[in-house]
Chains A and B, each alone.
Chain A
């Protein structure tokens, strides 16, 4: 983990562009893959795996949002709504047309991308906070429309039950089966995002982020690339919605409300904008935070108040801890967990001869 090269010895452009610059990283990745794909599902219990599943779903969404917020610098507070578009598209396809997962997942993503492009259209004229609020408007409007259109939302209570996905005729019901199913999409999402950013499209995104007028002057079609960023990002969001639906076995608009949009924004910002590792850190952090803090509160609080009383305090305490930690991290390290991680690695780079 802490092996680094002692200087820059790259002699070709290809070496400079390599995704895995050091041979050791390859082994590290292989070890991580073995750990997460083979060892984890075989050894962990049902509950831990279901928590891991939640993290995996969040990773897909966070990586997608990072393409928009971190690389293109267009804020979206409407990602929860894009997820619901994906979720309901997939749920309707599955229940009405009996669609398999390899149709439902991309279809949900494409539908969300379509809606995302429509929401992204104002980004040509408006920027910054104005854009952020217009995506907030999109969140509220999409939520309302889905909830009030029985044809989409399945009538009463706006929820649609979905059977588990089946792969090669096997229904995936156990936590470890869902885990591997989700892991497939996570790996796909990471590889796709990593390569997208290295491509012409990714470079255009970064140019727009750094100075959009300058980007326009050097010949980047801003409108096209901004909409593309919205499309790709909402595609990820749509897929996240479908995965979430498969995981829960139900599509329900209450799972995709404003607080979800804000949670995903928190993941990207706390994790660190504009990197692939950042959103993963953020997704782990934000997903684990409520679970860990509830455990901790139940443990510590047990000494002070009755167990029955505790249930009244835990939700609000969790909310307060969530807010407090976000502020704490922003004040201590505004560039996110990824920056902390990089600082640690830089420190170890010349260790033990730092001076």
Chain B
């Protein structure tokens, strides 16, 4: 029956879009830091896990959900500020690969400490939204995903507003576009570097709560971070719009691959189909769909 197939596709695409929005949220953290400080954060997945762990621990201690989210937000902002001050500021002006390696080291540091402090088990973040899915025709939408997608949309819009309209946002764009000139214009560049990391902390905290509520919090959660790479590369490393579009594309491709390719080849395509797409896209547009083409001079 052809229309059953059609329904199946719709279901896959809609759930892919929702997951994709949540990828966009995490990818946003990555893009913010890259845009402002040229640093590449390989620990994004671990940031998400850390935030989720804080929220889960707060929930387990009997605190209400909202307080747990706020705690996680505060914790992540403090963590990112500290990180910028202690580690990343020392690496300013060093080769990119040194920063990459530092964040890789940071990733294993967080992973190790997380298991030590919170134990190896799976923790839960109970989101107070119930478990009854919402039905829209053939499409079934779990409430956790709905809340996640809505929050992502809200914050993506919020960040766009922040960058276009507020004084700080404009200053951050100035820093991203040319550090020397913005320094000359009286912008305190190191402060905006710290701000960029703090914003990443906020995004990671939200992402952590959403992903943690959806998947459960354990040491598998950082794998979400591996999905962020095709998202940002597809969209272009320095583009917020790119992060959103890339997230949506990756979400849909992943869902379609899991739905149609997995039965044919025996599983696992979900994890690398986005990467194949990414390589093909890079061949055509080496700076991503929305990335700025850097003009290189000798």
Q: Which residues of A contact B (CB under 8 A)?
A: 69, 75, 122, 125-130, 132-134, 136-137, 140-141, 144, 147-148, 211, 213-214, 217, 262, 265-266, 269-270, 273, 312-313, 315-327, 330-331, 334
Residues of A contacting B296 with CB < 8 Å?
213
Q: Could you tell me if A130 and B233 are in contact, using CB atoms closer than 8 angstroms?
A: yes
4 nearest A-B residue pairs (beta carbon): A320-B112, A323-B109, A326-B105, A319-B112
> When the two chains form the complex, which single residue of B34, B106, B275, B279 contacts A327, counting CB atoms closer than 8 Å?
B106
| Stretch of B48-56, B93-101, B186-194 that contacts chain A | B93-101
How many Å from the CB of B279 to the closest CB on chain A?
6
Q: Could you tell me if A323 and B110 are in contact, using CB atoms closer than 8 angstroms?
A: yes
Q: Could you tell me if A137 and B102 are in contact, using CB atoms closer than 8 angstroms?
A: no
How many Å from the CB of B147 to the closest CB on chain A?
30
Q: Could you tell me if A132 and B100 are in contact, using CB atoms closer than 8 angstroms?
A: yes
> When the two chains form the complex, which single residue of A75, A273, A317, A324 contacts B100, counting CB atoms closer than 8 Å?
A75
How many Å from the CB of A319 to the closest CB on chain B?
3
Decide yes or no whether B107 CB sits under 8 A from chain A: yes
| Stretch of B6-14, B154-162, B209-217, B266-274 that contacts chain A | B266-274
Given A265-B101, A269-B98, A269-B101, A323 contacting B282 (CB threshold 8 A): no
How many Å from the CB of A227 to the closest CB on chain B?
15
Residue of A whose beta carbon sits closest to that of B88: A331
Q: Could you tell me if A137 and B275 are in contact, using CB atoms closer than 8 angstroms?
A: yes
Report the separation of the CA atoms of residues A25 and B134 in the bound assembly, to the nearest whole angstrom.
76
Task: Name B22-45 residues within 8 Å CB distance of A.
Answer: 34, 40
Taking A130-B237, A330-B105, A331-B91 as known contacts, 11 extra A-B pairs with beta carbons closer than 8 A to each other, sorted by chain A number, are A127-B286, A141-B276, A144-B268, A148-B265, A324-B105, A325-B105, A326-B102, A326-B104, A327-B105, A330-B91, A334-B95
Q: Could you tell me if B111 and A319 are in contact, using CB atoms closer than 8 angstroms?
A: yes
Q: Could you tell me if A316 and B101 are in contact, using CB atoms closer than 8 angstroms?
A: no
B104, B113, B268 — most chain A CB neighbours (10 Å): B104
Given A313-B116, A330-B98, A322 contacting B105 (CB threshold 8 A): yes
Q: Could you tell me if A330 and B102 are in contact, using CB atoms closer than 8 angstroms?
A: yes
B96, B266, B272 — most chain A CB neighbours (10 Å): B272
Q: Could you tell me if B109 and A126 are in contact, using CB atoms closer than 8 angstroms?
A: no
> When the two chains form the complex, which single residue of B107, B229, B275, B283 contacts A122, counting CB atoms closer than 8 Å?
B283
Residues of A contacting B102 with CB < 8 Å?
326-327, 330-331
How many Å from the CB of A214 to the closest CB on chain B?
5
Residue of A whose beta carbon sits closest to that of B43: A323
Q: Could you tell me if B96 and A129 are in contact, using CB atoms closer than 8 angstroms?
A: yes
Residues of A contacting B283 with CB < 8 Å?
122, 125
Report the separation of the CA atoms of residues A3 and B181 in the bound assembly, to the nearest whole angstrom.
49
Residue of A whose beta carbon sits closest to that of B111: A319
Decide yes or no whether B87 CB sits under 8 A from chain A: yes
Residues of B contacting A325 with CB < 8 Å?
105
Q: Could you tell me if A316 and B279 are in contact, using CB atoms closer than 8 angstroms?
A: no
Decide yes or no whether B16 CB sits under 8 A from chain A: no
Q: Could you tell me if A140 and B271 are in contact, using CB atoms closer than 8 angstroms?
A: yes
Decide yes or no whether B82 CB sits under 8 A from chain A: no
Residue of B whose beta carbon sits closest to that of A137: B275
Residue of B whose beta carbon sits closest to that of A319: B112
Q: What are 19 residue pairs bridging A and B, where the CB atoms are less than 8 Å apart in the complex?
A: A69-B97, A75-B100, A125-B282, A126-B286, A129-B96, A134-B278, A134-B279, A141-B275, A148-B265, A265-B104, A270-B101, A319-B115, A320-B109, A322-B108, A323-B110, A323-B111, A323-B112, A326-B108, A334-B95
Report the separation of the CA atoms of residues A316 and B105 in the bound assembly, to the nearest whole angstrom.
13
Residues of B contacting A269 with CB < 8 Å?
97-98, 101
Q: Could you tell me if B104 and A316 are in contact, using CB atoms closer than 8 angstroms?
A: no
Report the separation of the CA atoms of residues A220 and B258 in the bound assembly, to the nearest whole angstrom.
45
Report the separation of the CA atoms of residues A327 and B34 in the bound assembly, to the nearest whole angstrom.
19
> When the two chains form the complex, which single residue of A122, A144, A323, A334 contacts B279, counting CB atoms closer than 8 Å?
A122
Report the separation of the CA atoms of residues A126 and B237 in the bound assembly, to the nearest whole angstrom.
13
Given A126-B282, A148-B265, A322-B108, A327 contacting B87 (CB threshold 8 A): yes
Report the separation of the CA atoms of residues A169 and B100 in the bound assembly, to the nearest whole angstrom.
47
Residue of A whose beta carbon sits closest to that of B107: A323
Residues of A contacting B108 with CB < 8 Å?
319-320, 322-323, 326
Q: Could you tell me if B112 and A318 are in contact, using CB atoms closer than 8 angstroms?
A: yes
Decide yes or no whether B64 CB sits under 8 A from chain A: no
> When the two chains form the complex, which single residue of B98, B111, B276 contacts A137, counting CB atoms closer than 8 Å?
B276
Task: Name B252-298 residues within 8 Å CB distance of A.
Answer: 265-266, 268, 271-272, 275-276, 278-279, 282-283, 286-288, 296-298
Decide yes or no whether B120 CB sits under 8 A from chain A: yes
Residue of B whose beta carbon sits closest to that of A211: B298
Q: Could you tell me if A136 and B229 are in contact, using CB atoms closer than 8 angstroms?
A: yes
How many Å from the CB of A268 to the closest CB on chain B?
9
Given A137-B278, A211-B298, A148 contacting B268 (CB threshold 8 A): yes
How many Å from the CB of A209 to the closest CB on chain B?
11
Report the separation of the CA atoms of residues A167 and B97 in the bound assembly, to the nearest whole angstrom.
41
Residues of B contacting A312 with CB < 8 Å?
120
Q: Could you tell me if B97 and A137 are in contact, using CB atoms closer than 8 angstroms?
A: no
B40, B94, B98, B106 — most chain A CB neighbours (10 Å): B98
Residues of A contacting B87 with CB < 8 Å?
327, 331
A75, A126, A137 — most chain B CB neighbours (10 Å): A137
Q: Could you tell me if B282 and A122 are in contact, using CB atoms closer than 8 angstroms?
A: yes
How many Å from the CB of A168 to the closest CB on chain B?
43
Report the separation of the CA atoms of residues A133 and B100 in the bound assembly, to the nearest whole angstrom.
12
How many Å from the CB of B178 to the closest CB on chain A?
18
Report the separation of the CA atoms of residues A313 and B282 in the bound assembly, to the nearest whole angstrom.
42
